Amino acid sequence: MTSNRSEYVINIERLPGSENASRFDGHEYGASVSFFINRHRPGTGPGLHSHPYEETFIVLDGKVRFTLGEETLEATAGQIVVVPAGTPHKFVSTGAGRLRQISIHPAVRMETEWLE
């Protein structure tokens, strides 16, 4: 039996955020995971930061360059990037169109330490 209870369905456009990303904080919805839905224009992305847990990125559309510690890697639509806990990282959209990706935080509350 399916439920139509409205608290189980969240419209993405109602999430807080900006032109570049929508933010889902799990603790606000009774979920044990948090995430960003990213829509970055070419040449944009967050500054260097880290989390006390791993972060998993699912690249849906576009191209992206990640910096993970001293390492740089490229990813494209259909690929998944896992950043280990505590690793300084950032990314920038490198494709011709918008980068669309989801970044999963396995925590009810996101914790970010900004490094630049």
What pLDDT is recorded for position 100?
98
If you average pLDDT over every residue of the chain, what do you get? 94
pTM of the shown model: 0.90
What pLDDT is recorded for position 3?
47
Is 90:31 a contact under the CB 8 Å cutoff? no
- Which strand ranges, in their side-by-side order, compose the sheet holding 21-24? 21-24, 34-40, 99-105, 55-61, 80-83
Is 90:43 a contact under the CB 8 Å cutoff? no
